[in-house]
Amino acid sequence: MRLSELKTGEQGVVVKILGHGAFRKRVIEMGFVRGRIVKVLLDAPLKDPIKYEVLGYAVSLRRAEAEMVEVIKIQEGDETPDIATHHEEPPAVDEHELPSCSHTIAQHEGHTINVALIGNPNCGKTSLYNDLSGAKEHVGNYGGVTVDIKTTTFKYKGYTFVLTDLPGTYSLAAYSPEELYVRRYLRDDNPDVIVNVVDVTNLERNMYLTTELIDMDRSMVIALNMYDEFRNQGSRLDFETLGGMIGVPMLPVVARTGEGIDQLLDTVINVYEGRHSHVRHIHVPLGPDVEGSVRVLVDMIKAQPSIARQFSPRYLAIKFLEGDSEVDRILHSASNYDELVLTRDRLRANIERLTNEDISSTVAAEKYGFIAGALAETMELSPEQKNTSTSFIDAIVTNKLFGFPIFLLIMLFIFWATFSLGQYPMGWIESAVNWLSTLVGRFMPDGVLKDLVADGIIGGVGGVIVFLPNILILYFCISFMEDSGYMARAAFIMDKIMHRIGLHGKSFIPLVMGFGCNVPAIIATRSIESRSSRLITILINPFMSCSARLPLYVLLIGTFFPSHAALVFLALYLLGIVMAVITAKLLRRFFFHKDETPFVMELPPYRMPTLKASVRHTWSKGVQYLKKMGGIILFASIIVWALNYFPRHDDAIPAQNTGNTIDLSRDSYLEAAGKAVNPVMEPLGFGWRSTVAALAGVPAKEIVVSTLGVLYTNDEAFTDASLSQRLTAPNASGRPDFTPASAIAFMVFILLYCPCMATVTAIVRETGHWGYGAFSIVYNTLVAWLAALAAYQLFDILL
Ligand code: GDP
Ligand code: MG
């Protein structure tokens, strides 16, 4: 708990001081060090400040300051348990004065270390996070994979680590949403130790962020990741000297194999305990012109303790000088804000006149100059450090002529693998489902329960679960594309087309991710800086055919077009893309104004994906799919079954007795509803069952197939037939429900219509407005209807 939560008369043992730099130092100087007992003497009339007693003398703290002190409450006269510590005692600030029992307890409880991973996109943060915690977060070889923060807890040498994986950032300016996000995280969550992950093969650029973290004056350790590649190139780095130079311990690690992880954790503990010899606060020099101005502003900010607590005054001063809007907002509450602004403007004008360039460039140039100087003394790059295999592959896959055909071939291969390779395991699961169905038929007594299990549950869930292998294969392929670095190239070659439709190459990655699932894809648009581009990318994402729609394709394509499967797949996916492109163009034209953001996406070197990461990712998707089967799909199947099962003939009789002339005995509720809506869908070649399946698929698109499974089990004559045989069997009117043309129309409709509820929710959440969700529902359904109509009319003639 925090010191501010203790009430008058209560006591606590200090566990740790949050915050940073000057504030932290001052509170520690006042005697609030770990293990000390603090007693609340009294609250001031307005509850602020509060008077405390620390080992014999009284001090007063503002409530806000007391919030930065973490304590454990103790009762007066308590027997404090004597718990032995697991590690050697730190020679920390004057702790020899401590009474031993309170000391031990604070040591024990204070074992929690909050660690945040911060670094550029694609430097291996998530890999490191997975290594450290055994988690299974998704890694990808391009920027912007992690858009949410993830937290995990693990134990190491008696300490509890709370580890947070943050989105990648190049700096801590208020330029992109991620940068703001990371910065707010640093301010509000105050991690004890920052692990700055850097890609050592790209040290110069990666260290720019490091200089900003140094400005912030936080406890920090640098993990030199990708050391394996660096070593293999034959380059060398004297990281001991470099670390000493910048006052931050540095360690080589290989996140991919786990090399160096223990040493990293040991160093984090040492930094946390304040016993690492390298740790000191340096100022990254900004040149005489800027330094003088920064000093003036620092002094003015220091006069405002409530503000200086959020970030170090030096960091605030530099950012304020650069005109950072968020820092401006922070400083707004300062009593000398007007004076600050005047001073800042005067100083900045002066610097810009002297240097003849804008202040941000001057600061960046000075920082890079500092980095270059430090690296010149410590790093020896091998002359042939250029990654030759990467440039060779790039010459082919981003080639003007071959780039697109290769992309299409890769997609075609993926669909072929998804369909053809998937057939074998699919057959096995199918037989298992059939076997289960026979078993139920033989051993369960006839009645409603048997019908529910056989038709509702096995027919519904069993009908969808057979597609698990296809979905796993698709995810495996996507994961391979992402992790190898090809995805970034796909975005690169698409940039031109994306520009034509008023978007950015970066928008392409969320679109391809949409092939897996639209929900994370929509979240991934957070890496797009421009608001209008982001909105458009979100709105067109549902046209990307997600894996939930795959079962329907496999079912219908397997039934009607088995010999051209991969091509039909590709055509469907391309149709989705074309609709997305048209929609994007229309949106840009009529709703959003043009905006140009420069294409600043990195093209990381190709890396062979580790089998472990790919399998892990695929596996987690499989688990997700199975969970969905046991949840919403099961639930929906039962509902659909019940609506289709009732009213029974005997239920219908009383209705007739009361003089009601409508004969309910033939139509179930579902059939009646389906037939009522069906006139709208008839031009598309839909029977009432297809209409019902499409309606039922609104919560989640897998339900389309599970509903077909339930609706087509009722025929007594077909107990042993597969679902695809039942779809092509003649119905009451003597014709089959599905023809090749109506199958295509149905797939087109399901591809394009109203996004599933999870996607609509994601759209509303990410855009911040329900109107966009409503737009998606209406617009997509309309588009779907028109496209399915065109498809049906066309193919009814052709096929
Ligand atoms: P993040 O964007 O910082 O979270 O980075 P990721 O953890 O997603 O990793 C980016 C890419 O770098 C992936 O392709 C990883 O497989 C690869 N990678 C991560 N750590 C290492 C490493 O130590 N050595 C090598 N060779 N590759 C790595
Ligand atoms: Mg990541």
pLDDT of 456-472, one tens digit each? 888 888 888 888 888 88
Q: Is 209 in the pocket of ligand 1 (CB under 6 A)?
A: no
Q: For residue 654, what pLDDT band results from cuts at 50, 70 and 90?
A: very low
The answer, yes or no, to whether residue 144 has pLDDT greater than 70, is no
pLDDT at residue 99, as a whole number: 37
* 412-436 mean pLDDT: 86
How far, in Å, from the CA of 278 to the mean position of ligand 2? 28
d(CA 104, CA 83): 6
Looking at per-residue pLDDT, the higher value among 519 and 134 belongs to 519
Please state, in angstroms and rounded to a whole number, the distance separating the CA atoms of residues 333 and 306.
9
Provide mean pLDDT across the span 552-568: 91
Q: How high is the pLDDT of residue 778? A: 96
139 Cβ below 6 A of ligand 1? yes
Backbone angles phi, psi at 4, to 5 degrees: -65, -20
* pLDDT for position 392: 80
Tell how far the Cα of 372 is from the centroid of ligand 1, in angstroms.
24
Supply the pLDDT for residue 82. 36
Q: For the CA atoms of the chain, what is the radius of gyration?
A: 32
- Relative to beta strand 193-199, strand 112-119 is parallel
126 alpha carbon to ligand 1 midpoint, in Å? Answer: 7
Measured in degrees and rounded to the nearest 5, phi and psi for residue 193 equal -135, 135
Could you tell me if the CB of 324 is within 6 A of ligand 1? no
The residue-averaged pLDDT of 504-510 equals 78
Q: Is the per-residue pLDDT at 147 higher than 80?
A: no
The single-letter DSSP state of residue 633 is I
Of 571-580, 621-630, 699-708, minimum mean pLDDT range: 621-630
Q: What is the pLDDT of residue 524?
A: 80
- Residue 720: its pLDDT value, please? 59
Which is more confidently placed, 673 or 198? 198
The closest-lying atom of ligand 1 relative to the alpha carbon of residue 122 is 2
Q: What is the mean pLDDT of residues 498-512?
A: 79
The pLDDT assigned to 79 comes to 46
Tokens coding 204: 């110069």
Strands 37-43 and 50-54: antiparallel
Nearest to 147 by CA among 124, 118, 116, 181: 181
Using 50, 70 and 90 to split pLDDT, how confident is the model at 85? very low
The tokens for 330 are 């922070």
Ligand 2 centroid from CA 520, angstroms: 14
Higher pLDDT, residue 654 or 440: 440
Lowest mean pLDDT among 86-90, 525-529, 553-557: 86-90
Q: Which tens digits make up the pLDDT trace of 224-247? A: 999 998 998 888 999 999 998 899
CB 765 within 8 A of CB 790: no
**Which residues, listed in sequence order, are joined to residue 152 by a DSSP beta bridge?**
163
pLDDT given for residue 650 in this prediction: 52
pLDDT at 478: 83
- The CA distance from 94 to 374, in Å, is 34
Cα–Cα distance measured from residue 712 to residue 710, given in angstroms and rounded to the nearest whole number: 6
369 or 598, which is more confident: 369
Question: What is the DSSP track for 256-302?
Answer: TTTBTHHHHHHHHHHHHTT--TT--------HHHHHHHHHHHHHHHH
Reported as type and span, the H/E element at residue 775 is helix 770-798
| Summary count for the chain: helices (H), strands (E) | 37, 13
Question: Measured from the CB, is residue 605 less than 6 Å from ligand 1?
Answer: no
Task: Give phi and psi for 429, each to the nearest 5.
Answer: -65, -40
pLDDT exceeds cutoff 60 at 488: yes
Residues above pLDDT 90, as percent of the chain: 23
For residue 175, what are its two tokens?
């330029």
Write the single-letter amino acid at 599: F
Query: With bands split at pLDDT 50, 70 and 90, how would you rate the model's confidence at 601?
Result: low
Instruction: Give the whole-angstrom CA distance, residue 25 versus residue 14.
Output: 15
- Pocket flag, ligand 1, residue 286 (CB < 6 Å): no
Q: Nearest C-alpha to atom 13 of ligand 1 is from which residue?
A: 141
| Angle, vertex CA 36, rays to CA 35 and CA 38, nearest 5 | 135
- CA separation (Å) from 601 to 489, 604, 691? 10, 9, 44
Of 668, 659, 670, 721, the residue nearest 692 (C-alpha):
670
Q: Is residue 607 within 6 Å of ligand 1 at its C-beta?
A: yes
572 and 749 Cβ atoms separated by less than 8 Å = no
Q: What is the pLDDT of residue 249?
A: 95
d(Cα 790, Cα 648) in Å, to the nearest integer? Answer: 39
Residue 472's nearest CA partner among 409, 424, 506, 526 is 424
Q: Which residue has the higher pLDDT, 111 or 321?
A: 321
Output b/e per residue, 314-342; b: 16+ Cβ within 10 A.
bbbbbbbbbebebbbebbeebeeeeebee
> What is the predicted pLDDT for the residue at 295?
92
Atom of ligand 1 nearest to the CA of 140: 8
- pLDDT at residue number 385: 54
Alpha carbon 569 to its chain's center: 28
In the sheet where 159-165 sits, what is the strand order?
150-156, 159-165, 112-119, 193-199, 220-225, 250-252
Contact 690, 742 (CB under 8 A): yes
Which residues does residue 730 pair with via DSSP β-bridges, in sequence order? 736
In this predicted structure, what is the pLDDT of residue 185?
Answer: 87
Nearest Cα residue to atom 2 of ligand 1: 122
Name, in order, each residue with C-beta under 8 angstroms of 615's C-beta and a sequence gap of 6 or more: 476
Atom of ligand 1 nearest to the CA of 117: 3
| Burial class of residue 462, CB neighbours in 10 A (0-12, 13-18, 19+) | buried
Measured from the Cβ of residue 277, the count of other Cβ atoms closer than 10 Å reads: 9
- Range among 480-484, 550-554, 612-616, 713-717 with highest mean pLDDT value: 550-554
Residue given tokens 């609030």 in the structure block: 32
d(CA 265, CA 764): 40
Verify whether ligand 1 is closer than 6 Å to residue 141 (CB atom).
yes
Q: Identify the three-state secondary structure at position 14.
A: strand
3-state SS class at 201: helix
Rounded CA separation 245/370 (Å): 11
252 Cα–ligand 2 center, Å: 19
Query: Angle at Cα 555 formed by Cα 552 and Cα 561, nearest 5°?
Result: 115
Of the ligands numbered here, which is closest to the C-alpha atom of 139?
A: 1
Average pLDDT of the chain is 81
Q: For residues 600 and 46, what is the distance between their CA atoms, to the nearest angstrom?
A: 52
Q: Ligand 2 mean position to 121 CA, how many Å?
A: 7
Residue 470 has what pLDDT?
86
Alpha-helix runs per DSSP H in 335-421: 337-355, 359-378, 388-397, 403-416
DSSP state for residue 610 in the 8-state scheme: P
Q: Which ligand is nearest to the CA of 140?
A: 1
> Do 745 and 683 meet the contact criterion of CB atoms below 8 Å apart?
no
Q: What is the pLDDT of residues 382-413, one digit of tens each?
A: 776 556 777 788 878 877 788 888 988 988 89
Give me 532's structure tokens: 């209008």
Q: What percent of the chain has pLDDT over 70?
A: 85
